[in-house]
Amino acid sequence: MEIGPILRALTRNKLGVILIALQIAFTMTVMVNAVFIINERSKAMGRPSGLDEPNMFYLSSTGFGEQFNSEVTEQDDLQLLRTMPGIVDAAPTNAIPVSGSGSSNALRLENDPTLPAVISAVYYTDDHALNTMDLNLIAGENFNSSDVLYQTASEARDYDRSVVSLAFAEALFPEEGLESVGRVFYNGDYPVQITGIVERLQTPWPNNSFVEHAMLVPLNFIGSTSTYLIRTEPGERDRLMVETEEILASNNPNRIIRGLKSMDETREETYRLDSAMATILLVVIVTLVFITSMGIVGLAVFGINRRRKQIGTRRALGASHGQILRYFMLENFFISGAGVTLGALFTIGFSIALSSLFEMPTMSWYYTPLGMVLLILIGQLAVLGPSTRAARIQPAIATRSI
Amino acid sequence: MFFYYLRLSALSYRRNPILSSLMVLAIAIGVGAYMVIFTLNYVMGGNPIPQKSDQLFHLQIDSGNPNTESDPPEQLTYIDARALIEADAAFRETPSSKISGIIEPEGDDARPFSVIGRGAAADFFTMFNVPFLYGTPWDESADRNLQQVAVITKELNERLFGGEDPSGQTLRFHSSNFQIVGVLDDWAPVPKFYDVNNNPFDGGEEIFIPWNLVAPMEFSRSGNTNCWKAPDPGREGFLNSECVWIQYWVELRDGEEEEDYLQFLNNYVAEQKEFGRMPRPMNNALFDVEEWLLKEEVLPNETKILSALAAMLLAVCLLNTIGLLLSKFLGKSGEIGVRQALGAHKGSLFMQHVIEAGFIGLLGGIIGLGVAAAGLEGIKVVLGDDLMMTDWIQLNPPVVAVTLVLAIFATIAAGFYPIWRACNVNPAIHLKTQ
């Protein structure tokens, strides 16, 4: 092993070494941090909302004019929807999970505004919500249809019970979990009893810290706009989206149907920015790896050309193909080694900056060593071509005068 | 001598086309990618109304929750907005709220449709330099007298009236008759600075009506509403509550007007405190457009992170360029030796090679513009045009200028060490025959 001569040869070409080492260091920083960001976003995008998304869609009905009666319209619509073949169930709601818009409340253990609050999304709906969303009830019971209140905006919002998500129950009553069925919490002045707990239900805002806190309440606001969430049999969604819009739009001239959208589309739109970011980062990583590889190849070719005579001499003195190949691979290994060591410092520094400036989670420990190994491998692969060509240099070159 | 050196640069390029092209490519990729991110930052973080952004202010009145440490609310309550617009204490001012409603076009076969609109005062249009295609904004008296007037966008006008001047025509909106007084010309500031609460990059509203009508006509609100204290039930309860849902902008022409207005706000809040409202310590402030965009963190974190990554990509490309330039210039040692022997001094050799580096930089910059244009189109595709406005994602003149200047100067900077090395060679060595 010719470690000594290799290192000494590198000190004679300091600039080349520095250039490649720095390129490797920057490439590693970008690559490792970008991969981490892509991973985090993918994980976030993959979180289930608790709903049977592929088979669900929703639409809104907005009434106008003197002759529009919101209560009758909503009841007729829901009855029609629930009896349509292919539709499993339909529920009125004020907001849709993962959609980006909705209502939230601050809930407390007592009627005392100085106490810390747990924030939760509130879904104003009826007893069909559990079945429509296909939620998994793991404790307690659903509402009865007699529990459901119908109120206009001028009446008090005094629902007194709620079916909540497990995460929300655990946030309010940390020691009790599933046992918290029957416990009471406060929405401002109003007490609310936990009737049932579902395993999972997300808020409309997936990027908030309280994304898993949700409450279903049996309160239906009668206003000019009603939104209906609908679940279909598998495979029937697309057909039913068209049909329900046509039927509802034509059976009542005092309202328009708008906002028809599937849950799949909703999810895609909400996460569009994350998905775009991941694509852009991927392009950046590939470009960087390509450029750095080209740089390594370039420097290797340059260095080898400069030392043709030296290589030829060594070959003439008996060095085998393998020994020449090993020499250059080892030389690249040292340069890459220096590069990834510097790169590890940059990477960790950059990652810490990202976490503190942009409130991102800190990178798991294994990303950096994996990045180092990967870049050394890439470097070795890049230099394989030129090194193989170097190994084939004829010994006869040693004796030529040019 | 400049053109002579330029010609030499072109000849030198032709002599090592592969090496030179690799350099141009490296610079093109690095500069192009960086400029894509630069464009995003420049527009999304930029000033959409530079001519008067330092005279337009959004208010901050802290009507928030005394029991928490949260930031002051970003919008105003109905009580405060009404009080301020009545007081009329600024040179120009406007409350502003996003609404939605149904338009019933004329004609039996025309189907009603829903639109997003905005309630604003007459001053809105003059404050924000909103261009008009037909007609004019309504008069201040229309605000005070609750006149049902409306201003619509060019696109809505196309849809309803075929693009003709609709001034004076009646529009049935929210089950009531409105008289159209004007049509806006193309106007889509990026970011939509006057309302950053839902999506500061969306397309903007289609119809504008006097803000004073929003509450009495019970329009559906379409923006963000935040209540730290549950409102009393009913419409009246909501309007009298501490729920915030209204943006409020003032135009103040100089420092004196700013001071006076801030004083007015302080007096107003002190008065409200005597009525038992505003339990938090007084915390009134005026934010001009740029300050408001910064405070509201309109520039997404993603663009900032991408800036750092793109800078590193550019650094890697330039490091590559240094290596390539070194190899190229060292290869020219013979020529440099001959020139020195013929009397060229170090300075002119230096100049010759700086110009050569600049030449390569310019070529790289031009191709980089192509890379940047492609990159921006790619971003438009990946973002889709249905969720936000993407028309502005393209090369514009300032960006083109920065691209070329950056490419030239970056390449020259990358070339300093290689040029210095090359020009310091001892000419005698290279004048010997091999």
Arithmetic mean of pLDDT, A158-173: 93
SS3 B219: coil
| pLDDT, position B331 | 81
CA-CA-CA-CA dihedral for B247, B251, B255, B256, to nearest 10: -100
Residues 6+ apart with CB under 8 A from A188: A111, A113, B229, B230
Q: What is the pLDDT of residue A156?
A: 65
Q: Is B184 left (phi over 0), alpha (psi -120 to 50) or beta?
A: beta
- In degrees and rounded to multiples of 5, residue A192 shows phi and psi of -130, 130
Higher-confidence residue of A10 and B54: namely B54
For testing contact with chain A, the best of B65, B171, B316, B420 (most A CBs within 10 A): B316
Distance CA A395, CA A400 (A): 10
pLDDT score recorded for residue B344: 85
Pick among A12, A32, A280, A335 to test the B interface (most B CBs inside 10 A): A280
Closest to A98 measured CA to CA, from A253, A203, A228, A244: A203
CA distance A125 to B29: 54
Q: Region A236-260: what's the mean pLDDT?
A: 93
- Contact assessment for residue A230 and residue A87, using Cβ atoms and an 8 Å cutoff: yes
Set of chain A residues whose Cβ sits within 8 Å of the Cβ of B327? 298, 302
**How does pLDDT run along chain B (434 residues), one tens digit per residue?**
889 999 999 998 998 888 899 899 999 999 999 999 999 998 898 899 999 999 999 999 999 888 888 889 999 999 999 999 999 999 999 999 999 999 999 887 788 999 999 999 999 999 999 999 999 999 999 999 999 999 999 999 999 999 999 999 999 999 999 999 999 999 999 899 999 987 888 888 999 999 999 999 999 988 888 888 878 878 888 899 999 999 999 999 999 999 999 999 999 999 999 999 999 999 999 999 999 999 998 988 889 999 999 999 999 999 999 988 988 888 888 888 888 888 888 888 899 999 999 999 999 999 999 999 999 999 999 998 888 888 888 888 999 999 999 999 999 999 999 998 888 877 777 777 65
Predicted pLDDT at A125: 94
Q: How confident is the model at residue A57 (pLDDT cuts 50, 70, 90)?
A: very high
Structure pTM?
0.89
pLDDT at A1: 65
> In this structure, what token pair is assigned to residue A171?
């946030």
- Three-class SS of residue B326? helix
Residues A100/A205, Cβ–Cβ less than 8 Å = yes
A121 beta partners: A104, A214
* A277/B319 Cβ within 8 A: no
Residue of B nearest to A30 (CA): B309
Q: Is the pLDDT of residue A397 over 90?
A: no
Residues A61, A260 contacting (CB under 8 angstroms): no
- What is chain A's mean pLDDT, rounded? 91
Of residues A235, A395, A244, A334, the one with CA closest to residue A9: A334
Distance from CA of A227 to the nearest CA of B (A): 14
By CA distance, what is A275's nearest residue in B?
B382
With CB atoms and an 8 Å threshold, state whether B327 touches A302: yes
**Strand runs labelled E in B243-339:** 244-251, 285-288
Cβ neighbours of B309 in A, within 8 Å = 30, 33-34, 281, 284
The pLDDT of residue A73 is 92
The token pair at B343 is: 């009397």
Q: Answer with the residue of higher pLDDT: A11 or B273.
A: B273
Residue A399 pLDDT > 80, yes or no? no
